[in-house]
Amino acid sequence: MSNECKTIHEFDFNLICEYFSNVERQGPGSPEVTIKALGFIDNLTTESRIADLGCGTGGQTMTLAQNTPGQITGLDLFPDFINIFNRNARTLGLSGRVKGIVGSMQETLPFEKESVDLIWSEGAIYNIGFERGLNEWRQYLKKDGYIAVSEASWFTAERPAEIYDYWMAHYTEIDTIPNKVAQMQNAGYIPVATFILPENCWTEHYFAPCCKMQQAFREKHRGNKAAEELILSERHEMELYHRYKEFYGYVFYIGKKL
């Protein structure tokens, strides 16, 4: 398909994909935090089935694979991310038990009911919403199986209008930690643990690599308005985080299916 045939939306989609293909993570997180969350999950064996939904290029999936036994399936909407994911798995000698597949969490997932021991999803459940994800994904888990997701959350009961408005424009399901825990409990899980991701998950592991890559991206797409806008919106997200980080951030929620 030639560029002329593409809608602006499709073109933006490709740009976003290219932008994030160049960084190790597509959202806040770190290997230390993945390992910490994994520490709340027991009973994994070489027979275990793990699904990483919205896996991106697999930064966290490879950390998972290196720290737990079992077969891991990463699922993401973007084929380019999955290609990088599978290349990374091969490079790390993990391709025997780590496979990336293209798919959408908007659709029925390609897993049997009650077949998965652990569902993982870092910074991605927001694509269908926290409550919907918890409710729909539960059917794929075995009894006593675990879910571990990271999700944008408010840290305080009140917050300044500027950051509230920003989030309402981007993700209205952002909520306080107690409200999210109640949603997890109501969806049929024991809330095993929650913890706030430390600041370096944003600064060192997410924003810094993005900043480093932005210059080359800007040069490659010089004069392209959509590329400029993408960089500006990423910069804005960064500035807001620095200004309002005591009011919000990412939180890991770990639950066990009843």
Which phi and psi (to 5°) does residue 152 adopt?
Answer: -65, 130
Q: In angstroms, give the least distance from the CB of 185 to ligand SAH.
A: 24
The one among 63, 94, 123, 214 contacting ligand SAH by CB under 6 A: 123
CA atoms of 194 and 37, how far apart (whole Å): 9
Question: Does the protein bind ligand SAH through residue 74 (CB under 6 A)?
Answer: no
Contact at 8 Å (CB) between 52 and 121?
yes
The verdict on 127 binding ligand SAH (CB under 6 A) reads yes
User: Is residue 250 a contact point for ligand SAH (CB under 6 A)?
Assistant: no
Is the distance from CB of 38 to CB of 207 less than 8 angstroms?
no
The count of residues interacting with ligand SAH (CB under 6 A) is: 21
Using left for φ > 0, alpha for ψ between -120 and 50, and beta otherwise, residue 12 falls in: alpha
CB of 107 to ligand SAH, least distance (A): 8
Backbone angles phi, psi at 145, to 5 degrees: -75, 165
49 lines the binding site for ligand SAH (CB under 6 A): no
Q: Establish if 14 lies at the interface with ligand SAH (CB under 6 A).
A: no
Which residues of this protein are in contact with ligand SAH, per CB under 6 A?
A: 25-27, 29, 54-56, 59-60, 75-78, 81, 104-106, 122-124, 127
